[in-house]
Amino acid sequence: MMYRDKIGQVAGKIWHFLNEHGTTTVAKLKKELEAGDALCMQGIGWLAKEDKIDFVEKGKSLSVKLR
Could you tell me the pTM of the whole model? 0.92
Burial grade of 44 (CB within 10 A; 0-12, 13-18, 19 or more): buried
Calpha distance 14→59 (Å, rounded):
23
What is the average per-residue pLDDT within 49-65? 95
φ, ψ (nearest 5 deg) of residue 60: -95, 0
CB of 14 closer than 8 Å to CB of 25: no
Interval 21-56: pLDDT, tens: 999 999 999 999 988 899 999 999 999 999 999 999
Class of domain 3-66: mainly alpha
